[in-house]
Structure 1
Amino acid sequence: MEQRFKSLFESITFPNGKTIKNKFVLAPLTHTISNEDGTTSEREIEFVKSRTQDVGMAITAASYINIEGKAFPGHPSISKEADLKGLKRLAQTIKQNGALAIIQIHHGGARALPKYVPNGDVKAPSDIEDYGYGQSQKHSSRAMTAEEVMQSIKDYGRATELAIRAGFDGVEIHGANHYLIHEFVSPHYNHRSDKWCKALAYPKAVVEEVLNVKTSLAPKDFVIGYRFSPEEAESPGISMELTERLIKMLIAYPLDYLHASLMDIQSTTKEGKYAGEKRITLLKRWVNHQMPLIGIGSIYSVDAALAGLNSGADLIALGRGLLLDARLVAKIKENKTEAIIRQFDSKREDKHQLPIELWHLFNKSAFPIPKKENE
């Protein structure tokens, strides 16, 4: 291995004492291949196995904590006893090659799909219309009652209990990407007038619930992470100034890492007093060495991974990069970086070892990804 690559393969110890063997993290990937009832499928096991061979930590696809938060076809569940058998296999599959197994706990909020939610009754912080996964038309959601807000918080705790029982090393609270927790933070979605109108009230309550369950049921080194979107396109929406407040609130808790959801790890702030400054660098400053910061976004090469570390990330999450090339990390370690697959090639016979559903999405450019121009 080249000397300059070695920093990527150094271990990191989380605040709770748990160690990750290298700085590569499998990002949570929306694979859409769980069973219809949310239980773990055989295809899902094989797919996860193929993408966790070399990383230090793997975060599962967003897994719903209540059927009312189901947002995708083939969306995995961590909401009921019947999920446990498959979840145990999933955790074991991730851990068999030495990766930490983290399950992402999630509620779709306004982006839950009416066809999957009981009676089509989609709930969000406030009445709003929004797009769902793969939809070209908006659907409506109604404001949650105070009782429903409290139940959703308890659902995050229940999901944490199931994760502990399933043998996961930790949970990641999904507070990003326009889903329920993000929506409570965002002035675009949250127009409430009760105590939940305050941007940080709901994420604070969820974090406290998850931590309380950990204290009661889990070993001390059970990992708790939190994913967030630092800035959103909507106006008014989440700004970097609001995210600064969120970070300062989160680092006061005994969390183990924060995970910035970015499309490009080198992206810059679009407006406000931090306009033009690199987001990941700002976030690193605000985290202030209290816990590791995961960065993600458009990382298809070793140079992009190293640049992410240099810009402020402590750990590098790979999403689209590992979808294109399951051996991306291994190729870096083996000094075969020139062999890394960095473009989607619709003519590859192995279809990049992707589930056919994901292959079709990439083939029709449903997600931004470098594509090879085939004649």
Structure 2
Amino acid sequence: MDSLTNIKLNSTANFVPGGPVSYADTLNQSLSLPCGESIPNRFGKSAMSEALGTIDNHATPALETLYGRWSDGGTGLLITGNIMVDRHHTGEPNNVVLENENDLPLLTRWAEAGKRQGNQIWVQLNHPGKQIPRMLASGDTLAPSAVPFGKELKSAFKTPRALTEEEIRDIIKRFATSAAIAKKAGFTGVQIHGAHGYLVSQFLSGHHNQRDDQWGGSLENRMRFPLEIYRAIRKAVGDDYPVSIKLNSADFQRGGFTEEESMTVAQTLAEEGLDLLEISGGNYENPAMAGAKGVRESTATREAYFLDYANKIRERVSIPLMVTGGFRSAKAMAEAVESGATDIVGIARPLAVEPDLPKRILAGQDGVVSRVTPRKTGIKVIDEMAMMEVSWFSRQLHRMGKGQDPKPDESVLLSLFKVITSMGLGSFRTRRLRANV
């Protein structure tokens, strides 16, 4: 507790000198954003794909129920699961797609539920690029270049087709259109998904982007795509509306997006007026975002997987930062904010099990540690599947979307079976639907 009496201030934190003396006091400080809006506390729910849309990609009342639960749970910033900008290119069955205003009443109710406790709710916007499972893809998958996945995933994903200039411009426009609709529906901000191997991340990576035109080659060219998306969104929503990006600290892949390149992109976007940078890492082939596997013991003990990068980027940008990945205890969360390395504590899986975790910490329960633990079956070949744990947590989101409580003792094998079955059936129905359009 003594460390909390020595608060390190930074340009984005609203700390009162000599004020916070507990974890709750530290994490309950509001945060001002460059656009003029503010986040009421230092908890941020990072995006998790809910897959709670309809088979034809519309929003549902389950999303309203789920996000109302999280709003009541005390999280100051809620970021939705990845909402797609193109109905013909979705990352999984039952993604929500935001192309037009047809769902405006449902979207408005979702937004209202998600901000009913005075918190912020932002829409994460995404295009999967080539990261569409083969069983779901009904046509060409698209990418900066026609670079296939490595041998371990090649059978699960198609070799993509390189985007044309016209298609690139269309996707940029789609991001802006979706952002404008989100604002009209009452969502309080938007986030560009630039991490985890999706299309924006693919453009940034020298491995996936091997173009020789203005969209590839040098880092200046490779980051043109996210920069143009940001500018188009900013033009569509105005200067007083929060716009964020989720960015990989690195791809952890030979020839891919490096840490130094990531910091240059972050600095460039910060200079353009970005309101919040969320830091994560990895992709489907190297899923650093999926858990602590492979991280140094000291990093796992500290809990925040990407805090080293955050400390480095803090020297180059003054905009608010959100570090996601690994946080489990009130102590680690408060110390990360107090140190100045991050402004928002990004949490995801803990909120799938304990949607009221922030509320409990803010109530002064300094000894709170999330009940989230690694999910294992004891069957090595299954436990090594990247999808295994994701499936279990996805099931908890679906339970809350039905108005039920999470089920911490739910069978991991049963969850995996149900999710795989649902994805297979959903992919078949999606392909058939698109074929008949």
Corresponding position of 2:335: 307
- What's the CA shift for 1:340? 4.6
Corresponding position of 2:398: 355
Corresponding position of 1:284: 314
Contact 1:187/1:237, CA 8 A, preserved across alignment:
yes
1:150 to 1:56, Cα distance in 2 relative to 1, 3 A: same
Q: How many residues align?
A: 346
Contact 1:114/1:121, CA 8 A, preserved across alignment:
no
Corresponding position of 1:293: 321
- What's the CA shift for 1:314? 0.8
Corresponding position of 1:206: 229
Partner Cα separation in structure 2 for residue 52 and residue 37 of structure 1? 27
1:97 aligns with 2:125: no
- What's the CA shift for 1:52? 2.3
**Percent sequence identity over aligned pairs:** 23
- What's the CA shift for 1:5? 2.9
What is the letter of the counterpart of residue 60 of structure 1? T
- What's the CA shift for 1:233? 2.0
Provide the secondary structure at the position in 1 that maps to 2:192. Answer: strand
- What's the CA shift for 1:259? 0.8
Contact 2:68/2:116, CA 8 A, preserved across alignment:
no
What is the letter of the counterpart of residue 31 of structure 1? E
Partner Cα separation in structure 2 for residue 345 and residue 64 of structure 1? 29
1:156 aligns with 2:178: no
Provide the secondary structure at the position in 2 that maps to 1:81. Answer: coil
1:354 to 1:247, Cα distance in 2 relative to 1, 3 A: closer
1:342 to 1:311, Cα distance in 2 relative to 1, 3 A: farther
Corresponding position of 1:320: 349
What is the letter of the counterpart of residue 363 of structure 1? V
Using the size of structure 2 for normalisation, the TM-score is: 0.72
Matches within 5 A, 1:163-202: 163-197=182-216, 198-202=221-225
Contact 1:111/1:130, CA 8 A, preserved across alignment:
no
Measured against aligned partners, the alpha-carbon deviations of 1:208-250 in whole angstroms (never above 9, x if no partner) come to 11111123xxxx4311111101111211011111112111211
Contact 1:11/1:23, CA 8 A, preserved across alignment:
yes
Structure 1: give runs of 5+ residues left out of the alignment: 271-275, 367-375
1:339 to 1:353, Cα distance in 2 relative to 1, 3 A: farther
Corresponding position of 2:65: 46
**Cα RMSD, aligned residues only:** 3.0
Larger mean CA deviation between 103-112 and 77-86 belongs to 77-86
Measured against aligned partners, the alpha-carbon deviations of 1:28-62 in whole angstroms (never above 9, x if no partner) come to 11111211122112222222222222111111111
What is the letter of the counterpart of residue 225 of structure 1? S
Contact 1:331/1:340, CA 8 A, preserved across alignment:
no
Contact 2:68/2:114, CA 8 A, preserved across alignment:
yes
- What's the CA shift for 1:27? 1.1
Corresponding position of 1:373: none
Partner Cα separation in structure 2 for residue 23 and residue 300 of structure 1? 14
What is the letter of the counterpart of residue 183 of structure 2? I
Contact 1:33/1:41, CA 8 A, preserved across alignment:
yes
Provide the secondary structure at the position in 2 that maps to 1:110. Answer: coil
Corresponding position of 2:391: none
Provide the secondary structure at the position in 2 that maps to 1:25. Answer: strand
Provide the secondary structure at the position in 1 that maps to 2:222. Answer: coil
Matches within 5 A, 1:52-131: 52-53=71-72, 54-117=74-137, 119-130=138-149
Provide the secondary structure at the position in 2 that maps to 1:52. Answer: helix
Contact 1:68/1:112, CA 8 A, preserved across alignment:
no
Structure 2: give runs of 5+ residues left out of the alignment: 1-19, 282-288, 300-305, 376-393, 417-437
Highest Rg: 1 or 2?
Answer: 2
Contact 1:324/1:344, CA 8 A, preserved across alignment:
no
1:161 to 1:362, Cα distance in 2 relative to 1, 3 A: farther
- What's the CA shift for 1:139? 2.3
Measured against aligned partners, the alpha-carbon deviations of 1:226-284 in whole angstroms (never above 9, x if no partner) come to 1101111211011111112111211111121111124479x78x9xxxxx991121122
Measured against aligned partners, the alpha-carbon deviations of 1:275-294 in whole angstroms (never above 9, x if no partner) come to x991121122221x2x1011
- What's the CA shift for 1:344? 4.7
What is the letter of the counterpart of residue 17 of structure 1? G
2:263 to 244, 266, 277: 244
Contact 2:147/2:208, CA 8 A, preserved across alignment:
yes
Partner Cα separation in structure 2 for residue 135 and residue 86 of structure 1? 38
- What's the CA shift for 1:64? 0.1
- What's the CA shift for 1:339? 5.6
Corresponding position of 1:261: 280
What is the letter of the counterpart of residue 305 of structure 1? M
- What's the CA shift for 1:313? 0.6
Corresponding position of 1:335: 364
Query: Which one has more relative contact order, counting CA pairs under 8 Å at least 6 apart?
Result: 2
1:109 to 1:352, Cα distance in 2 relative to 1, 3 A: closer
1:327 to 1:74, Cα distance in 2 relative to 1, 3 A: same
Provide the secondary structure at the position in 2 that maps to 1:129. Answer: coil
Provide the secondary structure at the position in 2 that maps to 1:152. Answer: helix
Provide the secondary structure at the position in 1 that maps to 2:208. Answer: coil
- What's the CA shift for 1:80? 2.4
Contact 1:128/1:141, CA 8 A, preserved across alignment:
yes
What is the letter of the counterpart of residue 344 of structure 2? L
Partner Cα separation in structure 2 for residue 254 and residue 343 of structure 1? 36
